[in-house]
Amino acid sequence: QQQVRQSPQSLTVWEGETAILNCSYEDSTFNYFPWYQQFPGEGPALLISIRSVSDKKEDGRFTIFFNKREKKLSLHITDSQPGDSATYFCAASAPNSAGNKLTFGIGTRVLVRP
Amino acid sequence: GGIITQTPKFLIGQEGQKLTLKCQQNFNHDTMYWYRQDSGKGLRLIYYSITENDLQKGDLSEGYDASREKKSSFSLTVTSAQKNEMAVFLCASRSTGGADTQYFGPGTRLLVL
């Protein structure tokens, strides 16, 4: 059973539009949710993260909205740029988990057309 | 800042071969991880290590061995490569007791003929 689900698997938007990436999880003990951005040929890099005590986290054009009751979160990329074209992974971890392991979703591939 | 180096960048092997992938980090991080990335399946944890000489199995450890002989390095061995296997192996590290951020290397791309 997939612990972290992401949708859609791929998404195409025009430059300047808002891209919305969805993530949901099963384990109610998860309390830390990082989003990673991965460009082709590179490793993932932390983009933005949120803890379950917050319902929103903003960093420039990237915003996470978090709904603890529904166990859902979303990443909004406003004013999308062609340079935002990448794969985005939602991940989750529980407090005091051995090794602070992260559970990853399968990713959403975003293409921003100029 | 620091960097994670993975070698080799590309690895072509034969069915049944034992293959070793290496990872080095200069963050002075305690915890290191090996993930396997397959298209459409996200990242799956193979092994992790919370300190030198420590090894812990992840969800995908069968068919792999790992070694953490120094704090800065973490090796992964594919014990018997499977024919037509194609995946990217990612190494990551994280500082214990600090932020939860895992930093990733660029990956080793494996192809088994």
Domain holding A46, by residue range, is 4-113
Average pLDDT over every residue of A56-83: 97
Residue B1: the pLDDT is 77
Gap between the Cα atoms of A54 and A31, Å rounded: 10
Query: What pLDDT score does B99 carry?
Result: 65
Rounded to whole angstroms, how far apart are CA atoms A82 and A84? 5
| pLDDT tens track for A10-22 | 999 999 999 999 9
CATH number at residue A56: 2.60.40.10
Average pLDDT, chain A: 94
3-class secondary-structure state, position A83: helix
Distance separating alpha carbons of residues B84 and B43, to the nearest angstrom: 19
Name the domain count of chain A.
1
pLDDT at res. A17: 98
Query: What distance in Å separates the CA atoms of residue A85 and residue A114, rounded to the nearest whole number?
Result: 11
B45 chain-A contacts, CB cut-off 8 A: 101-102
Interface touch A43/B104, C-beta < 8 Å: yes
pLDDT given at position B83: 86
Model confidence pLDDT, tens digit, residues B56-103:
999 999 999 999 989 999 999 999 999 888 899 999 999 766 567 899
Q: Say what the pLDDT of residue B97 is.
A: 62
Which of B81, B78, B79 lies closest to B112, judged by CA?
B81
Q: Which of B4, B43, B109 to mutate to test the interface with A (most CBs of A within 10 A)?
A: B43
Indicate the range of A61-70, B38-47, B63-72 predicted with least confidence.
B38-47
**pLDDT tops 90 at residue B41:** no
Whether the per-residue pLDDT at B39 is higher than 70: the answer is yes
Rounded to an integer, the average pLDDT of A88-108 is 90
Q: Phi and psi of A100, rounded to 5°?
A: 50, 50
- Tell me phi and psi for residue B29, to 5 degrees: -75, 150
Cis before A8? omega within 30: yes
Q: What is the pLDDT of residue B96?
A: 67
Q: pLDDT tens, A30-62?
A: 999 999 999 999 999 999 999 999 999 999 999
| Region A50-79 average pLDDT | 96
B27 at A interface, C-beta within 8 A: no
In chain B, residues with a C-beta closer than 8 Å to the C-beta of A44 are: 43, 90, 104
**Domains of chain B, first to last:** 4-112 (2.60.40.10)
Question: Which residue does chain A place closest to B37, by CA atoms?
Answer: A106
Q: What percent of chain A has pLDDT over 90?
A: 91
B92 touches chain A (CB under 8 A): yes
Name B33's bridge partners. B48, B92
In whole angstroms, how far apart are CA B109 and each of B10, B13, B91, B103, B112? 5, 11, 12, 18, 10
